[in-house]
């Protein structure tokens, strides 16, 4: 029996939000979709270079433009757009740009997320501004993107795939993560509701719930002993995940081989929350 090869991605147009970081989930999702034959629209917030971590500065990193170059090096078209997923007008402009430059949209990966920060406190100590910041990007951004690009897919009439990058936090719902956990749990509800609504028109909607992934988002945990203890304490497979681990699940869900899957919340976490 021949080895399984994912099909159905060649020539598709994929939009990946939050794709500008060098050590991230969004970058490998964009690159692996391109490697599978997709043309890619990449979005980022247009970070100032003085906010780049040291490894990005040393590499001469240029945010979404660097990822766009990687996509083009694979022979695919790339469009890099500075955009705010929490701004409804900006999202509508992104749809228009995608269709104008690449002709259509087949895949949307809602990966943009608010940075870990001052929201990581008890609810009684949580500043409402921090709550709104997390909800606006994580939940409202996913809603606005799914709404606008879902309409575009319906107008095209030949289906599509939306993948929301959530988190195990939306299932664990631990202390000092109220805003983040609430945003991710709400994404689960949005995912399942949209899957039921759009399934009859062949638009599939799924979510991936990563565990501890070794990206810039976790840089508040020093690498070395503290990091190793975190991994050993929480992950039965004894390693943190990589962006590639999430990218490969995205590819499967968007491929022909994943075409009978919708409304699912896939945990990809090395065994951190078994059974959920």
Within 8 A by CB and 6+ apart from 44, the residues are 18, 19, 20, 63, 64, 80, 82, 83
Q: What is the rounded distance in angstroms from the CA atom of residue 227 to the CA atom of residue 93?
A: 41
**To the nearest 10°, the Cα dihedral for 239, 244, 250, 254?**
-140
- Output helix, strand, coil percentages for the chain, rounded to the nearest 5: 45, 15, 40
Task: Look up tokens 């565990």; give the residue.
Answer: 211
Task: Look up tokens 């087949």; give the residue.
Answer: 106
Q: Which of 3, 9, 4 has its CA nearest to residue 254?
A: 9
Q: How is residue 222 annotated by DSSP?
A: -
Instruction: For residue 27, give the 3-state DSSP assignment.
Output: helix
Active-site residue set: 180
């Amino acid at each position: 029996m021949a080895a399984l090869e994912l099909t159905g991605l060649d020539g598709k147009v994929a939009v990946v939000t939050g794709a500008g970081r060098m050590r991230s989930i969004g970058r490998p999702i964009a690159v692996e979709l391109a490697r599978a034959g997709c043309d890619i629209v990449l979005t980022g917030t247009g970070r100032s270079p003085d906010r780049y971590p040291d490894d990005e500065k040393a590499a001469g990193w240029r945010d979404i433009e660097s990822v766009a170059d990687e996509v083009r090096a694979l022979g695919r078209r790339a469009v890099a757009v500075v955009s705010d997923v929490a701004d409804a007008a900006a999202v509508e402009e992104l749809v228009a740009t995608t269709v104008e430059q690449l002709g259509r949209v087949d895949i949307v990966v809602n990966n943009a997320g608010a940075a870990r920060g001052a929201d990581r406190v008890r609810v009684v100590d949580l500043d409402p501004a921090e709550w709104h910041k997390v909800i606006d990007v994580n939940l409202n951004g996913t809603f606005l993107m799914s709404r606008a690009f879902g309409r575009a897919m319906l107008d095209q009439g030949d289906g599509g795939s939306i993948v929301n990058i959530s988190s195990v936090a939306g299932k664990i719902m631990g202390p000092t993560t109220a805003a983040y956990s609430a945003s991710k749990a709400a994404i689960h509800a949005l995912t399942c509701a949209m899957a039921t609504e759009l399934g009859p028109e062949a638009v599939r909607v799924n979510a991936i719930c990563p565990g501890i992934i070794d990206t810039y988002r976790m840089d508040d945990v020093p690498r070395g002993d503290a990091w190793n203890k975190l991994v050993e304490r929480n992950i039965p497979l004894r390693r943190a995940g990589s962006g590639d681990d999430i990218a490969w699940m995205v590819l499967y869900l968007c491929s022909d081989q994943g075409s009978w899957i919708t409304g699912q919340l896939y945990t990809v976490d090395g065994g951190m929350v078994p059974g959920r």
